[in-house]
Amino acid sequence: MTNRENIIEVKNITAQFGDDVVLNNINFNIARGEIVVILGESGCGKTTLMRIMTGLSKPAKGQVLINGNDVSCCNTTRKIGVLFQNNALFGSMTLSENIALPIAEYTALDNAAIQKMAGIKLAIVGLAGFEDYLPSAISGGMKKRAALARAMALNPEILFLDEPTAGLDPVSSAEIDELILHINRSAGTTMIVVTHELESVFTITKRVIMLDKITRGKIAEGTPEFLKNECPYPFVRQFFNREPRVRAAAVE
Amino acid sequence: MPEQKTNAEADFSTTVDADGGMTVLISGWLTIHSAAALLTKIPGAIEKEGFPQPIRLDLTDVTRADDYGVFVTRELKTLAALHGSDLQVINMPDVVESVFALYGHISPHEAPYTPPALNPAAIITDIGGAAVLGMRKIDATVSFIGMVVFAAGHALLHPGSFRLSDTIELIKRGGVDAIPVVGLISLITGLIMAFVASVELSKYGGNIYIPSLIAFGMVLEIGPMLTAVVIAGRTGSAYAAEIGTMQISEEVDALSSMGFDPILFLTVPRLAAMLIAMPILTVLCVVFAILGGLIVSVTMLHVMPAAYIQGVMDALFIDDITWGLAKSGIFAILIAMIGCLRGFQVRGGAASVGNAATSAVVSCIFMIILADSIVAIIRIYWG
CB-based contacts of B221: which residues, under 8 Å, 6+ apart? B324, B372
Length of chain B: 383
- Which chain B residues are closer than 8 Å to A128 by Cβ? 108-109
The one-letter code for the residue type at A202 is F
Tell me how many degrees the CA angle A240-A246-A250 measures, rounded to the nearest 5: 100
Whether the pLDDT of residue B220 is over 70: the answer is yes
DSSP H or E run through A9: strand A6-17
CA angle B289, B325, B175 (to 5 degrees): 70
Q: What average pLDDT values come out for chain A (252 residues) when binned by 10 residues?
A: 72 87 89 90 86 86 87 74 87 89 87 90 88 89 90 89 86 87 86 88 89 85 86 82 64 46
Strand segments (E) across A46-187: 61-66, 69-70, 80-83, 158-162
CA nearest B209: which of B303, B128, B287, B121?
Answer: B303
Distance from CA of B78 to the nearest CA of A (A): 13
User: Do residues B66 and B33 make contact, with C-beta atoms less than 8 angstroms apart?
Assistant: no
Q: Give the Cα-Cα-Cα angle B128, B132, B135 (nearest 5 degrees).
A: 140
Q: What is the model's pLDDT at position A2?
A: 46
pTM: predicted TM-score of the whole model, two decimal places? 0.74
CA distance A86 to A202: 23
Q: Is A30 left (phi over 0), alpha (psi -120 to 50) or beta?
A: beta
Band (pLDDT 50/70/90 cuts) for residue B129 is very high
pLDDT > 90: what percent of chain B?
53
Q: Given pLDDT bands bounded at 50, 70 and 90, which one contains residue B127?
A: very high
Instruction: Give the A window 150-189 contacts with B, CB below 8 Å.
Output: 154-155, 186-187
Pairs of CB atoms within 8 A across A/B:
90
Residue B40 has pLDDT above 80, yes or no: yes
State whether residue A158 is helix, strand or coil.
strand
Q: Is the distance from CB of A39 to CB of A203 less than 8 angstroms?
A: no
Residue in B37, B40, B66 nearest the CB of A155: B66
Residue B8, pLDDT > 90, answer no
If you ran DSSP here, which 8-state letter would residue A206 be given? S
Q: Which residue of A has its CA nearest to B99?
A: A186
Integer Cα distance of B183 and B295 in angstroms: 15
Residue B301 DSSP one-character state: S
> Which residues are CB-neighbours of B190 under 8 A, at least 6 positions away?
B214, B218, B288, B289, B290, B291, B292, B293, B294, B295, B296
Please state, as a whole number, how many other Cβ atoms lie within 10 Å of the Cβ of residue B28.
18
Query: Which pLDDT band holds residue B169 (cuts at 50, 70, 90)?
Result: very high
Q: Do B349 and A154 touch (CB under 8 A)?
A: no
Quick check: B351 contacting A, CB < 8 Å? yes
Q: Does B66 touch chain A (CB under 8 A)?
A: yes
* β-sheet bridge partners, residue B27: B11, B61
**How far apart (Å, rounded) are the C-alpha atoms in residues B346 and B357?**
10
A88 part of contact set with chain B, CB < 8 Å: no
Rounded to whole angstroms, the Cα distance separating A176 from A178 reads 5
- Average pLDDT, stretch B249-271? 90
For A86, residues 6+ apart whose C-beta sits below 8 A from its C-beta are none
**pLDDT of B116 above 80:** no
Q: Is A75 on the interface with B (CB under 8 A)?
A: yes
Q: Which of A220, A251, A232 is nearest to A39 (CA)?
A: A220
Tell me the chain A residues in contact with residue B110 when contact means C-beta distances shorter than 8 Å: 119
Query: Phi, psi (5° rounding) for residue A70?
Result: -70, 125
Which value does ipTM take for this structure? 0.78
Burial of B73 (0-12, 13-18, 19+ CB in 10 A): buried
Neighboring chain B residues of A110 at a CB cutoff of 8 Å: 36, 39
- Bridge-based pairing of strands A207-211 and A35-39 is parallel
Strands A61-66 and A69-70: antiparallel
Dmax over Cα atoms in chain B, in whole Å? 110
